[in-house]
Amino acid sequence: MGKDLNRRTWGPADEATPNEQRRASLYVAAMAGDAADCRQLLDVLGLLPKHLTVQHGMRGYRAGCRCKACRKANTERNRRQRTAQPRVYLTEAEWQARRDQHTTTGEQ
């Protein structure tokens, strides 16, 4: 059985685990009315990070930043990915030949 965490056993010196903090943050975010409300609730509960560092570029875009620099980095990344590997379209005969080649050599 788990430890009973009531008022008598949960003291001010006890800290929540990172997993508990993450789950609490997600719950608050789900219940908040908007972003400002969420930020205020997380700040009151002490779940807001002490400092927020924003890195612009692809890393910032992945973190949710949508400034001009981050959107430009995402666009450039998408363009590089599209041009790096051109799509190869096979005809039915070419596809059959490749399939037959793999089945005769035992590759899958």
Domain boundaries, the chain: 16-51, 53-108
pLDDT score, position 77: 93
pLDDT score, position 73: 94
The runs of H, that is alpha helices, within 7-67 are 18-31, 35-45, 58-63
* Helix, strand, coil % over all residues of the chain, rounded to 5: 55, 0, 45
- Intervals of the chain under pLDDT 50: 1
Cα(37)–Cα(32) distance, rounded to whole angstroms?
Answer: 6
Name the DSSP class of 91: P
0.85 exceeded by pTM: no
Rounded to the nearest 10 degrees, the angle between the axes of helix 35-45 and helix 18-31 is 150
pLDDT tens column, 22-39: 898 889 888 888 888 888
